[in-house]
């Protein structure tokens, strides 16, 4: 039996760290935050659960005072469980061909619309927003399972 790696994926917290998010991420081995963090304390709290890879979103433009989190990049590539994952805040800013680059998963945020889609062998995952409710959109995060033949993603409703 193959073992799998469980990754927590979150975006658009906008300065709000819900206890339901912390519960949903309990037991993950890594957390990916796709921007619009809003407050560096959120990343510090998430890092108590598991290592965090985070990028900045459009509301994170003035992060000079964020201490150890002050160098959040606009995009990031991370390899977890043998899978290359590209993290970008707004999918419309994607300026590379993930399939050609050997990337297996593209994670984005920004829209607050949770989605899971496969295109040309690449998994596109938007965990939605775990922050303040926007319009009628759900409050969500995602879990990503790596280690099997195909990465698997699941959207979790937090409220």
Q: What is the pLDDT of residues 52-110, one digit of tens each?
A: 999 999 999 777 778 777 889 999 999 999 999 999 999 999 999 999 999 999 999 99
DSSP state letter for 38: -
Architecture per CATH, domain 5-157, reads as 4-Layer Sandwich (3.60)
On average, the pLDDT of the chain sits at: 94
pLDDT at residue 1 tops 70: no
CA atoms within 13 A on the CB side of 148: 9
For the chain, what are the domain ranges?
A: 5-157
57 in helix, strand or coil? coil
Name the one residue in this structure whose structure tokens are 């998994």. 123
Q: What is the pLDDT of residues 136-150, one digit of tens each?
A: 999 999 999 998 778
Model confidence, pTM: 0.95
């Amino acid at each position: 039996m193959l073992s799998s790696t469980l990754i927590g994926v979150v975006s658009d917290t906008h300065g709000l760290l819900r206890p339901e998010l912390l519960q949903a991420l309990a037991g993950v081995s890594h957390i990916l935050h796709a921007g619009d963090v809003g407050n560096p304390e959120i990343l510090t709290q998430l890092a108590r659960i598991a290592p965090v890879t985070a990028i900045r979103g459009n509301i994170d433009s003035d992060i000079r005072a964020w201490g150890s989190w002050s160098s959040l990049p606009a995009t990031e590539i991370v390899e977890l469980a043998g899978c290359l994952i590209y993290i970008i805040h707004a999918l419309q800013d994607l300026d590379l061909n993930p399939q050609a680059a050997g990337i297996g998963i593209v994670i984005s945020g920004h829209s607050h619309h949770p989605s899971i889609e496969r295109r040309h062998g690449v998994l596109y995952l938007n965990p939605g927003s775990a922050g303040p409710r926007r319009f009628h959109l759900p409050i969500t995060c995602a879990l990503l399972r790596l280690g099997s033949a195909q990465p698997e993603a699941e959207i979790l409703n937090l409220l």
